[in-house]
């Protein structure tokens, strides 16, 4: 991800070096790893005691990032599990 965003690049000796754009990405939320432990299956079924609201608000605010692509990478941990559960039929029925 960081290489795609031109924040790091591989050197000839197989190492990585920081690029100037890396400084723009100092906005990763402190508790972002908590999202990986979020009970998405229970949330979709309406049984979770936790809320996704704080995470969705951060996503809607584009994670307060100046970078045009980085917020899309941060959205993955909350959007993908929800989409997978809903399309797998684990969640409530979707009405058209």
Sequence ranges of the domains in the chain: 28-87
pLDDT for the residue 96: 38
> How distant, in Å, are the alpha carbons of 23, 26, 27, 38, 82 from that of 33?
21, 15, 14, 9, 17
Give the end-to-end CA distance of the chain in Å, rounded to a whole number.
Answer: 36
pLDDT class of 89 with cuts at 50, 70, 90: low
pLDDT for the residue 75: 86
Average pLDDT of the chain is: 81
Give the dihedral sign, CA 67/8/77/55.
negative
Average pLDDT over residues 38-64: 88
**Cβ(55)–Cβ(71) below 8 Å:** no
pTM: 0.62
pLDDT class of 83 with cuts at 50, 70, 90: confident
């Amino acid at each position: 991800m960081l290489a795609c965003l031109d924040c790091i690049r591989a050197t000839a000796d197989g190492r990585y070096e920081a690029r100037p754009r890396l400084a723009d990405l100092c906005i990763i939320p402190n508790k972002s790893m908590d999202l990986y432990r979020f009970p998405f299956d229970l949330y979709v079924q309406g049984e979770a005691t936790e809320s996704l609201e704080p995470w969705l608000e951060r996503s809607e605010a584009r994670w307060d990032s100046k970078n045009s692509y980085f917020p899309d990478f941060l959205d993955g941990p909350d959007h993908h599990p929800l989409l997978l559960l809903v399309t797998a039929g684990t969640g409530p029925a979707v009405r058209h």
